[in-house]
Structure 1
Amino acid sequence: MNYFELFSLAPVYDIDTVLLSERYRDLQRTVHPDKFANASAQDKRIAVQRTAQVNDGYNTLKHPISRAEHMLSLKGIDLRDESTTVKDTQFLMQQMEWRESLEDIKHSDDPDELIDQLHHSFSDYQAQITVQMSQLIGSDQPSELQDAADLIRKMKFMAKLQDELARAEDALF
């Protein structure tokens, strides 16, 4: 299913999330199972299915990583269950540095400063990836779509790092 069509949105990476939320609420009002309380069993089942599609679509389009994966899947590239790793050696080196810094938080004299540095470093890198993703993902060129797939893999890694940083931060407090 094309969730962009479901929400009547242009299939672009940089979507208007406010508009997405408005359309979500409108669709929910239209298909919510409560509206079909007195309907036939089949109509109730269809309402439940449509509600599930609307919820899935909203959750997919709301999050940048799943939105990008959805866009690529519409172009025939499915990344959801893959195990391909990033082959960018510069990124792999940066990963190791970030992981070492995450480990250093426990032993740092000023963990707050190190946490702030990591937050800024992660944010800066994610901003770079987002700009590149916006430029590549709308393409129909196979090489650019593969580059977008690599960026999604990096985005997934960055999301894991953000989670690890949040856990490290929580452990201090």
Structure 2
Amino acid sequence: MAENYFALFELPQGFALDSSALEARWRQMAARVHPDRFATATPAERRVAMQWASTINEGYRVLKSPLLRARYLCEQAGFDLQTESNTRMDGAFLMRQMEWREALDDARASGDPDAFARLASEIHQARVHMEASVAELIDRERNFDVAAIKIREWMFIDKLSAEVQSASHELADRQH
């Protein structure tokens, strides 16, 4: 099997990625190991094809997602993100986390859909900025240590975004 997902899809290793090339290559590779092509194959051949299909699909899933791709690149460079044990983050980001949490609590308490929309927009902008920052750290600066910190922050942003979306949907459901 390929040494890494970039090699598997014959793409240059980096955060910046040609998503159309990734999708085209994935479709091509997935078609080669599709179960229908192995209907009359031996059990061993079917098993190998299924393993390849699993690897291809997992590689596609990881490379397609900017956050997962960033995590993967750090891990490939030998930097363990230690997402379960390392909570080190920038002090300013920690303050921003608290502000966002308070804004979410306020939006829930007020039941104001506009408050949720404003918070969701602010978090979206933070995510866009975080993605650009991580891209710079990985592709240009090759600073995986700092990128790992930013990726952990990005993970928080994505989790909070999902919470805001869920709370907003709950409010909309109660109003209907």
Q: Contact 1:7–1:24 at 8 Å: present in 2 too?
A: yes
| Local SS of the residue matching 2:79 | coil
* In structure 2, distance between residues paired with 1:85 and 1:139: 25
Q: Which residue of 1 aligns with 2:94?
A: 92
Larger mean Cα displacement after TM superposition, 54-63 or 38-47: 38-47
Q: Which residue of 2 aligns with 1:64?
A: 66
- How far residue 80 of structure 1 moved from its aligned partner, in angstroms, is 6.4
Aligned pairs for 1:136-151 (under 5 A) are 136-138=137-139, 144-151=143-150
- How far residue 17 of structure 1 moved from its aligned partner, in angstroms, is 1.9
* In structure 2, distance between residues paired with 1:58 and 1:25: 10
Q: Give the letter for the 2:14 counterpart.
A: V
* In structure 1, distance between residues paired with 2:165 and 2:129: 21
- How far residue 20 of structure 1 moved from its aligned partner, in angstroms, is 1.5
| Local SS of the residue matching 2:139 | coil
Q: Contact 2:124–2:161 at 8 Å: present in 1 too?
A: no
Residue of 50, 53, 58 corresponding to 1:51: 53
Q: Contact 2:26–2:56 at 8 Å: present in 1 too?
A: yes
What per-residue deviation string (whole Å, max 9, x for no partner) do you get for residues 95-150 of structure 1? 000001101112226x1221121122112211211111111113675xx2111001
Q: Which residue of 1 aligns with 2:6?
A: 4
Aligned pairs for 1:18-33 (under 5 A) are 18-33=20-35
Give yes or no for the alignment of 1:128 onto 2:150.
no
Q: Contact 1:139–1:145 at 8 Å: present in 2 too?
A: no
Q: Which residue of 2 aligns with 1:167?
A: 166
User: TM-score, normalized by length of structure 2?
Assistant: 0.89
| Local SS of the residue matching 1:138 | helix
Alignment length, in residue pairs? 170
Q: Contact 2:89–2:153 at 8 Å: present in 1 too?
A: no
Q: Which residue of 2 aligns with 1:78?
A: 80
Q: 1:33 to 1:148 in 2, by over 3 A?
A: same
Can you give the 5+ residue segments of structure 1 that lack an aligned partner in the other structure? none
| Local SS of the residue matching 2:86 | coil
